[in-house]
Structure 1
Amino acid sequence: MTVRAVDVPLLWMPHALRVNPHLPALHEESESWARAMGMLDGYPGPPARPAIWSRAKFHAMTVDQLTAWTLPDASLSDLRLNHRFNIWALAWDDYFASAFKQTGDLAGARAFTTRLHAFLRPERGARLPEPTNAVERGIADLQQHLFPPRLDHWRVEFNRALARYIDAGVEELANSRSGRIPHLIDYAPFRRESFAAYTAPYSVELSTGARIPAKIRHTRTVQALLDAFMDFMGLANDIASYEREVHEENDVNNLVLVVGTSLGITLHAAVPAALHLVNARLREFEHLRQSELPLLVHRSGLDHDERAELETWLRGACGFLSGLHAWYTGAPRYASGDGSFPE
């Protein structure tokens, strides 16, 4: 017996979608970097493992739209840079799924991940290993460009976030092999890591040129706002990608399964419960942004320029979330085969 899946557009989103005006230019060059890295059919280098994507599959993912929707204020050069990172993150995800998740090769996953760590070097000009596959080639290239002088302060934190991201893939595989569904209490912070959500503030800063002012950056209110910001990303993705992750990849690391197992409820009840949790995290972000953050700004004595910079960053964060929402609810990558969940 099946029950109708939750209609993904029911994910709440109070912010209108804004589209970067450079989307047409990004679309024209969308596949050039992916092909140069060996992620697409037609890579000119020596024969190796089959490409991660066909040209048709790559364009169906509409990564250019994801980038232009999430970074509506970015310049074309910054948009290109984040576009390459988005391509790489999806390439890692699909490569890892086909090479290790679908085969259950935990030892191979660990070896692959250990080697990938060698490319995540925080030191400027660090000597990297010679890449042997498209994922390594992509991250090696990105390490040369992700940290221009105005973003050099991100070098350590960004690479730490990527290390968490790839390590989480191994933990997800271990969970799937053992049939261990994570507990709800542990899952939200883990999902920030497995979604690479800790890199998202970098993307907002790249797009807007603004940072959260240092006076308030490490306060409880701002940390809670960032947690809610990051939680929406990964948890909403779980709802959008349920069909592909659970039924195609046999993955147990998904909010719907986590909620059902942790609360001891049926899948029929777990679907709306998971949706409610996702929407609750976004409502918490909105509450903190609109009610608690203004009080903190007043108490902290931020000057006019600091307040303006904070507002610019927040506008970028809201644009990032609305762009993700649009991609989750419209991209073919998240289209369900029959729109149903098993009972």
Structure 2
Amino acid sequence: MTVRAIELPQLWMPYPLRVNPWLSALHEENESWARAMGMLDDHGGPSADRAIWTRSAFRDMTVDQLTAWTLPDASLADLRLNHRFNVWALAWDDYFASAFKQTGDLSGAVAFTARLHAFLRPEQGARLPEPTNAVERGIADLQHDLFPPRLAHWRHEFNRALARYIDAGVEELANSRSGRIPHLIDYAPFRRESFAAYTAPYSVELATGARIPEQIRQSRTVRALLDAFMDFMGLANDIASYEREVHEEHDVNNLVLVVGTSLGITLHEAVPATLHLVNARLRDFEHLRQSDLPQLVRRSGLDRDERAELETWLRGACGFLSGLHAWYTGAPRYASSDLSLQE
């Protein structure tokens, strides 16, 4: 068997990378929260449950860079808060993969997920169960801080997005156990859930202090723009994590496999087709931002302050996508994910 790399189109990214000026401060405390939650094998907190990462594995993920690259406009306090959420999301992902996906333990995954649901309470001040592992400890801690008064309106929607995120993990495991590769038509909306992409508008609002004006938030144009925004995040991740997910975790929930199976084409053909599809989704976002959204703004009669707030949010969204792209293409977590073809 030989491995032959093919020439691939590049992931398109029209927005320049902007780095948060507080990156160095975040770097200094990069491990502190993960250690306190018991996610590191050298943590100083509770030791009854197994750690998720070694210290070196955690550092290789460069979560501090991910946070500072995706939220270039955030204050240090908001950067720290989103950093903890990013750490938690990756902790859930890696713990779920090692404990359930790699073992095929569907019943254990269902039980683990059912307990996590008890921590995702939309009611402010709701009493939470006593955490029994690092993932539960992390989400319990986050529930106290994620929804300050200016973001209180996010409590229900954010926890609903997290519930869909953890439920999607069980569905992915069921697919992998049965060998069922999802169909392309169903996969994009499912990937928004399995990537926790519905939380991303919260992160942009956290960083910029700006919201999409209420008058247009539920419009068809804005919904389409948000769908394209979220699709790029998860689908581009499938390209970056292909090697780890498909070859190491034996996961069938990956866009490359989905495209190949749904269209009945070879891996040789599916790889560039997948890249073109992801690039096309970002072009959809850019077209909506540059062409359709300005027309909607004019029709809706937004005032100057509302237009400025929308522009601030959109600038933050573009920065978010650029930061993710930089992390996918430069982080050691994805260093082994060159898309090569085995023949």
Same fold (TM over 0.5): yes
Instruction: Give the aligned partner of residue 117 of structure 2.
Output: 117
* Alpha-carbon offset, residue 335 of structure 1: 1.0
Whether contact under 8 Å (2:128, 2:140) holds in the other structure is yes
Instruction: Give the aligned partner of residue 4 of structure 2.
Output: 3
* Alpha-carbon offset, residue 49 of structure 1: 3.2
Aligned length: 342
Q: How does 1:263-278 map to 2 (within 5 A)?
A: 263-278=263-278
User: Could you tell me which amino acid in structure 2 is paired with residue 210 of structure 1?
Assistant: A
Whether contact under 8 Å (2:271, 2:339) holds in the other structure is no
Q: How does 1:233-312 map to 2 (within 5 A)?
A: 233-312=233-312
Query: Is 1:176 the counterpart of 2:176 in the alignment?
Result: yes
User: Could you tell me which amino acid in structure 2 is paired with residue 125 of structure 1?
Assistant: G
List gaps (5 residues or longer) in structure 2: none
- CA gap of 1:338–1:292, structure 2 versus 1, over 3 A, is closer
Supply the distance in 1 between the matched residues of 2:127 and 2:54 (Cα, whole angstroms).
Answer: 32
Query: Is 1:149 the counterpart of 2:152 in the alignment?
Result: no
Instruction: Give the aligned partner of residue 99 of structure 1.
Output: 99
Identity rate of aligned residues, in percent?
85
Instruction: Give the aligned partner of residue 23 of structure 1.
Output: 23
CA-atom RMSD, angstroms? 1.2
Query: Is 1:186 the counterpart of 2:186 in the alignment?
Result: yes
Supply the distance in 1 between the matched residues of 2:121 and 2:47 (Cα, whole angstroms).
Answer: 28
Instruction: Give the aligned partner of residue 219 of structure 1.
Output: 219
Supply the distance in 2 between the matched residues of 1:337 and 1:291 (Cα, whole angstroms).
Answer: 35
Supply the distance in 1 between the matched residues of 2:338 and 2:20 (Cα, whole angstroms).
Answer: 32
Instruction: Give the aligned partner of residue 61 of structure 1.
Output: 61
Supply the distance in 2 between the matched residues of 1:146 and 1:114 (Cα, whole angstroms).
Answer: 21
User: Could you tell me which amino acid in structure 2 is paired with residue 122 of structure 1?
Assistant: P
Whether contact under 8 Å (1:176, 1:252) holds in the other structure is yes
Supply the distance in 2 between the matched residues of 1:148 and 1:324 (Cα, whole angstroms).
Answer: 25
Supply the distance in 1 between the matched residues of 2:131 and 2:7 (Cα, whole angstroms).
Answer: 42
User: Could you tell me which amino acid in structure 2 is paired with residue 62 of structure 1?
Assistant: T
- CA gap of 1:216–1:56, structure 2 versus 1, over 3 A, is same
SS of residue paired to 1:205: helix
Supply the distance in 2 between the matched residues of 1:181 and 1:216 (Cα, whole angstroms).
Answer: 37
- CA gap of 1:184–1:139, structure 2 versus 1, over 3 A, is same
- CA gap of 1:83–1:99, structure 2 versus 1, over 3 A, is same
List gaps (5 residues or longer) in structure 1: none
SS of residue paired to 1:130: coil
Supply the distance in 2 between the matched residues of 1:193 and 1:224 (Cα, whole angstroms).
Answer: 16
Q: How does 1:82-93 map to 2 (within 5 A)?
A: 82-93=82-93
* Alpha-carbon offset, residue 337 of structure 1: 6.5
User: Could you tell me which amino acid in structure 1 is paired with residue 109 of structure 2?
Assistant: A
* Alpha-carbon offset, residue 121 of structure 1: 0.2
Whether contact under 8 Å (2:241, 2:337) holds in the other structure is no
SS of residue paired to 1:215: helix
- CA gap of 1:43–1:5, structure 2 versus 1, over 3 A, is farther
Whether contact under 8 Å (1:5, 1:271) holds in the other structure is no
Supply the distance in 1 between the matched residues of 2:276 and 2:44 (Cα, whole angstroms).
Answer: 48
Query: Is 1:79 the counterpart of 2:79 in the alignment?
Result: yes
Whether contact under 8 Å (2:221, 2:292) holds in the other structure is yes
- CA gap of 1:118–1:314, structure 2 versus 1, over 3 A, is same
TM-score, normalization by structure 2: 0.98
Whether contact under 8 Å (1:3, 1:268) holds in the other structure is no
Render the CA deviation track for 1:260-296: whole Å, top value 9, x for unaligned: 0000000000000000110000000000000000000
SS of residue paired to 1:216: helix
Whether contact under 8 Å (1:191, 1:235) holds in the other structure is yes
Whether contact under 8 Å (1:85, 1:142) holds in the other structure is yes
Supply the distance in 2 between the matched residues of 1:29 and 1:335 (Cα, whole angstroms).
Answer: 24
Instruction: Give the aligned partner of residue 321 of structure 1.
Output: 321
* Alpha-carbon offset, residue 50 of structure 1: 2.3
User: Could you tell me which amino acid in structure 2 is paired with residue 3 of structure 1?
Assistant: R
Q: Which has the larger displacement, 93-102 or 45-54?
A: 45-54
* Alpha-carbon offset, residue 44 of structure 1: 2.8
- CA gap of 1:235–1:51, structure 2 versus 1, over 3 A, is same
- CA gap of 1:6–1:116, structure 2 versus 1, over 3 A, is farther
Instruction: Give the aligned partner of residue 210 of structure 1.
Output: 210
Supply the distance in 1 between the matched residues of 2:266 and 2:317 (Cα, whole angstroms).
Answer: 35
SS of residue paired to 1:3: strand
Q: Which has the larger displacement, 35-44 or 95-104?
A: 35-44
* Alpha-carbon offset, residue 38 of structure 1: 0.3
TM-score, normalization by structure 1: 0.98
Render the CA deviation track for 1:282-325: whole Å, top value 9, x for unaligned: 00000000000000000000000000000000000000000000
Render the CA deviation track for 1:60-115: whole Å, top value 9, x for unaligned: 10000000000000000000000000000000000000000000000000000000
User: Could you tell me which amino acid in structure 2 is paired with residue 175 of structure 1?
Assistant: N
* Alpha-carbon offset, residue 41 of structure 1: 1.5
User: Could you tell me which amino acid in structure 2 is paired with residue 23 of structure 1?
Assistant: L
